[in-house]
Amino acid sequence: MASKDSMFRQWNMLRLVPRAPLSITAAEITERLAQAEYPIDKRTVERDLKALESVFPLMVDESVKPFKWSWRRDGAVFSLPGMSVPEALTLTMAEQQLKRQLPPSTLDALQPHFSAAAQTLAAVDDRTQTKAWLGKVRSIPSAQPLLPAEVDEPCQRTVYDALMKDRQLKLHYQKRDGALTVYESVHPLAIVQKAGTVYLVCLFSDYEDARTIALHRVKQAEMLYLEARRKEGFDIDAFIAEGQFGIADGGEIRLQAVFARAAAEHLAETPLSKDQVLYSESADHLRLIATVPRTRALTWWLLGFGDGVVVHEPAELREEIRQTAQRMAAAYQDKS
């Protein structure tokens, strides 16, 4: 019986053979298999093709050299259950990134493909370049990472389905203080993921203002057979920019700040804005001038440098950071 490696290799080999009048040579198949992490010699490919010819509607043109292989023009369509290693790698990485953003019904439809990708990678030697890639690439959050909040899977599925189908929801919601509230008529508008928390943006009953609820606090969810109400002119990006999720937008400002050189040298390679100017203030300091959005994220970013930055303009931002620094210093005073 052929080994797993041989079987997967032959599946991929069959996928490479085009239907006549197109054709492919054994050398071309060998090269393509090597690219797909199945490095074998041309003689093995030729032997495999001869063996497969007795089972599948393959044909070979021996009137030219090198010989050219094709799938017979009238040969039955044959759908192969395998996938290439690069395809498996792509699906595996996509699954890791999209689990919390795709609706469950879509994930259900993709699950056989994710499983096939896992099986394909499991059958490949760990030392192959493509499979090894999974252990070589990571995405690191710029802020302190937090463990994701635990979301009840059936509740998440119901909420996502209602959002996709524009249906109303009945939710049992546990507030931060532990009190349980039942919302009889919830109209879902959007899902937003911030760090490890997923939020539902919605309308309650007949109210017109959009609200947010943390999905991990939903303890029971029921999709109703009632069409959800849409908020006229609602735009999720504008909603976020208005200050929801701690990202208030106060318009653009002209930021001027002096950084410790070691703290700000990376800004020469990853600037804050397209119009950023960064130049030496002294041997140990750099002055930055840039037009940036006035957000809480900007304030938190500047505070993260500690005494490695002094904001000069705008005056209101400088004052806000000065007062915050004073409160921090007071909190750390030794009161013993």
**Shared-domain flag, residues 89 and 114:** yes
For 211, other C-beta atoms within 10 Å of its C-beta total 15
Q: Give domain status of residue 276, yes or no.
A: yes
pLDDT of residue 301: 92
The amino acid sitting at 247 is I
The DSSP result for 89-130, as a single string, is HHHHHHHHHHTTTS-HHHHHHHHHHHHHHHHHHHTS-TTSHH
The answer to whether 287 and 281 have CB atoms below 8 angstroms apart is: yes
pLDDT along the chain (336 residues), means of 10: 68 85 90 81 92 90 92 71 76 81 70 80 77 77 77 90 92 91 93 86 90 93 93 88 68 93 91 93 94 88 94 96 94 77
Confirm whether pTM is higher than 0.85: no
Give the span between the Cα atoms of 203 and 184, in whole angstroms: 11
Q: Give domain status of residue 80, yes or no.
A: no
pLDDT of residue 125: 75
**Shared-domain flag, residues 167 and 233:** yes
Write down which residue in 71, 98, 117 finishes a domain: 71
Write down which residue in 245, 280, 310 finishes a domain: 245
pLDDT of residue 63: 92
Q: Give domain status of residue 144, yes or no.
A: no
pLDDT of residue 124: 77
pLDDT of residue 115: 82
Who's near 289: CB < 8 A, 6+ residues apart? 254, 255, 256, 276, 277, 278
Name the helix (H) or strand (E) containing 132: helix 129-132
Based on its alpha-carbon atoms, the radius of gyration of the chain, rounded to whole angstroms, reads 29
* Domain that residue 100 falls in: 85-135
